[in-house]
Structure formats: structure tokens, C-alpha cells
Amino acid sequence: MSNQFEFVLTDPSISLKPGKSLLIRSRCMQGRNKREGSRRSKRQRQRETLASRLSSELPRDDPTPYGVPPSLGTFALVRFASTVNAEAQSLLFKAFAYNVSNQAFNPLDRCVNFDCIESASLQWLFSDAAFLHSTLSASYAVNELVMPTWDGQPGRKVVSHLRETLVLLARKMETLNVHEDEAVLYVVINLAILAAVYGDWEAAAAHFAGLYKIVQLRGGMDFLRSRSKLHFKLDRTGKKPFFLHPVAPWEPIFRPPPTDNRLYQPPESWDFRLTNVFRDFQHLTVTINENVHKHARYNAACFQGIISSLQSRLMHLEHLLRDPLQRLIRLSMLAFLTTTSKIPGKKILYNWIAKKLENTYIDAMHSIVGLDNPLRLWILMTIAISVTGADDMWLREAWKKQTMPVTTWAEAHEQLVKVMWIECIHDKPGETVLQHFNSA
């Protein structure tokens, strides 16, 4: 029977053409009123049986090329720089997707316009085996860090990819002008951070020494000025920064210095160099908060220049301040800087600054008694959210000795923003710390 479609007008006022009514009836009755023993029924069954047999005997092609394409997350259509299994491929995809969509490593991505991933780094997965294995080692390490059963030691897969990275990196180091290889720079950064995460400071020091040499060969501070996010990473390692700006003028960055009556004003007795850093810090945090409220973000190069200046001046002030309270303010601002970077599942230990804070706080105890409440509150909260947590006994005792303790977050927040506070980073941990302090 013909497979042609027939279009029939249904208007009752129009008669059907001759033969159309029989065609309609034939179509409607197709497959009905069949006699099982008729010749037509037998021929139909024979055709169906033959078609079924032929279908089962034909080889089945892989449906993937012509069906639904494989998931992007499997990286099925690309070839990596080294052989990796499906689990590792999935982990790589998650690692890069996580880096793009989540600011866990760099909370400031919410308020500073850093690029999430340098443009070439994804390409190196397919062209540089050392970078590939260093990324896998770091990715497996992050997976371990967030596990409640983690024992503090690197797992088998972390060690396996770490060894592979070191072997491949050693081969690379034999090549001429290896310091110009961008991938090598990031491999060494990964190795240094991994060593620091696992507390192997001897290995971390060796990697940082190599990193320092690479940066110096590529132009030192001039090179870092053109790589704002890289510079930011290198200054957030848990140790004293390697790359400090030479301090020439001590004048404030922002001219004129902020004189907002809503902000805490440093007393005239402070060293003018500390006062200028303090006011610059205030101006920066106020600007960041205002930008976030306007859904704007700070220019990365401009921001890094300010941060580098603040950090360098604070480091150079170490042996220039005699008053214990002013030394405590300096250390508290350094602690404040540490909150701009973190590792998922693990708190970076800034032990070199934590112990100094405790000792300096004790030395400054007599000056702290008469200290303005907003500044005293800011010191305690900054130390707690940055380097110690709220469980250190000396910090809890200091909290109890406040003359005007705060009990609500709204009250605490009002005082903290008068000093310096980045709301999108510090509000959540600050509120948690306040609850811990008040429940003790």
C-alpha cells in the first residue's frame, strides 16, 4: 500500500472526490480484520522473521560517534601530556572547574578582578607532563585535605604523582634557559605549596629558593609587577614573603589620607610610618567594601601594588617600633593580610606570626587596658580569624578582660568596620568567632 499522505477536507458542505472514501476506509482498517491463516498474513510473518534474523547477525557499531557525544568532563576527545586514567581525568576537570567557579583558594576573587586561570595553564595539561602530574598531585592532595579521616600525611596517589613530577622536572632543568619555561614556574609553585601544606618546610624552602632564582632571572620585582596574581600567590605561602618592595618613601599611598569621621583615628603618639600604613589599610578596605556593594571589583594590578606596598612597609617596620602596643598593631595588620588566602579543608599555619602576637600582646597589656574599644576588639577578632582560632587560652582570657564586651554581631560589626574590615571575607568567620568567645 502506498505510503503517500492524503489530505482530506473535513468541511461537511464539500463532497469527497470519487474514490477518496474507499481510500480513507482502507487506511482506517489497515491491520484489522486479518485472518491468521491467509496468504497475506503468512507473507507478513515471513518478512518480519527474516528482518529480525538479519538484524541480529549484523555487527553492532559503537553508537558513541553517532549518538550522544561523550561528556566534556571525561576529556574523551583530547590527549593529555601523559597517560592518565578515567579517575584522574575526572579529577582534572573538577579541579579546573572548581578553580573557575569557586574562590576557595583566593577569597579576594569576589572583590578583586583576578583572572581565575592563566590562559596557558589549561593547555599545559596536554603539552607538559611535569605540569600535568604536579596538578594531579595537588588535586589528590586537596581531596585528602577535606576528608575527616585525613591523618596529615600524603596519600599513595599524591606521592605517586609527586615522584613523577620530580623526575620530569629534573629532566627539564637540564635544558637551556629553563627559567623562561612558564610551565616550570607553576610546577615549582605547586611543589612549594604542597610541601608547605604537609609541613615539610625543608622541602618547601628548597622549592622557594628555586622559585626565587627563577623570578630573579626573569626580572625580579619588575617581572612580578606584570603578574599580579602570581605575585599575590607568592606572598601568601605561610612564611615571610620572599619578594619585598624596597621601602624608600614612607608617605601614604592615598593622598590625602582618609579623614572619614566614621573611621577610627590613630592617636598622634603613634610613629608616623605606622600611622600612614594603618590609614592606607583603612582606605583600601573601605574602597573594597564600597565596590562590593556596587558589584564592582578592584583592578588586580592596582590592588597588588597597594598590597605589596603595605606588606613591605609592615615588614620593614619590624625593628623600627619601640612601643609594644604599636608592635602589636603592626603584627595584627600582617595577620589581617593572611585572611586573603586559604586552602580548602586546611588552615594555613602562620606560626611565625602567631607566637609573636601572643608574646607582644602580653608585653602591651598595660597599654591595652586603656585602649579604645573598637581597636581592642579589632585586634582580638583579627588574631582569632586569621592565625589562632578562638580556642587559644590566652586569647579567651584576653576576651574576658574587655571593659566593654560586645554581645551581638551587629554591635561588633559596627566597631570593626571603623578600624578595618573586608565584609565579604571577614563577616562570616567574625560572627562565628564572636559566638565562640561569648559562649566560653
Interval 404-413: pLDDT, tens: 778 899 999 9
Q: What pLDDT is attached to residue 65?
A: 43
- Structure confidence by residue, pLDDT tens digits, 265-280: 999 999 999 999 999 9
CB 342 within 8 A of CB 373: no
pLDDT 10s digits, 111-138? 676 554 455 677 788 888 999 899 888 8
Longest dimension (CA), the chain: 114
pLDDT digits (tens, 9 = 90+) for 182-216: 888 888 888 888 887 787 878 888 888 888 888 88
CB contact at 8 A, 124 and 131: yes
Cβ contact 124:183 at 8 Å: yes
Residue 420 confidence (pLDDT): 95
CA–CA dist 174, 352 (Å, integer): 36
Task: Give the mean pLDDT of 226-250.
Answer: 57
The string of DSSP letters for 324-356 reads HHHHHHHHHHHHHHHTT--BTTB----HHHHHH
- CA 264 from centre of chain: 32
pLDDT tens across 71-100, in order? 544 555 567 777 777 777 777 776 665 554
- Mean pLDDT, rounded, for 281-294: 90
Contact between 194 and 138 under an 8 Å Cβ cutoff? The reply is: yes
Out of 65-74, 175-184, 333-342, pick the least confident: 65-74
The pair phi, psi for residue 226, each rounded to 5°, is: -85, -5
CA nearest 335: which of 351, 316, 318? 351
Tell me the three cell numbers of residue 157: 596517589
C-beta of residue 171 within 8 angstroms of C-beta of residue 187? no
Compare 260 and 132 and report the one with higher pLDDT.
132
Per this entry, what is the length of the chain?
A: 440
Q: pLDDT tens across 337-388, in order? A: 887 766 555 566 667 778 889 999 999 988 887 777 899 999 999 999 988 8
List the single range of 186-190, 284-288, 328-332 with lowest mean pLDDT. Answer: 186-190
Print burial letters for 376-415: b (CB count within 10 Å at least 16), e (below 16): bbbbbbbbbbbbbebebeebbebbeeeeeebeebeebbeb
β-strand partners of 298: 112
Arithmetic mean of pLDDT, 286-292: 89
316: part of which helix (H) or strand (E)?
A: helix 300-316
Per cent of the chain over pLDDT 90 is 21
CA 399/CA 434 separation, integer angstroms: 10
Per-residue pLDDT, averaged over 327-339, amounts to 91
Query: What end-to-end distance do the CA atoms of the chain give, in Å?
Result: 89
pLDDT tens by residue, 12-48: 555 656 666 666 666 666 666 666 667 777 777 777 7
What is the average pLDDT value for the chain, to the nearest integer?
76
User: Cβ atoms within 10 A of the Cβ of 324, count?
Assistant: 18
Residue 69 pLDDT greater than 50, yes or no: no
CB neighbourhood size of 369 (10 A): 10
CA proximity to 178, closest of 214, 124, 146: 214
Q: In the chain, where are the structural domains located?
A: 81-96+107-234, 272-439
pLDDT at position 405, please? 76
Least confident of 56-70, 164-178, 240-254, 337-351: 56-70
Alpha-carbon distance of 123 to 138, in angstroms, equals 17
At residue 144 the predicted structure's pLDDT band, cuts being 50, 70 and 90, is: confident
Expressed in percent and rounded to 5, the helix, strand and coil fractions of the chain are 60, 0, 40
Range list of β-strands (E), 127-258: none
CB 361 within 8 A of CB 328: yes
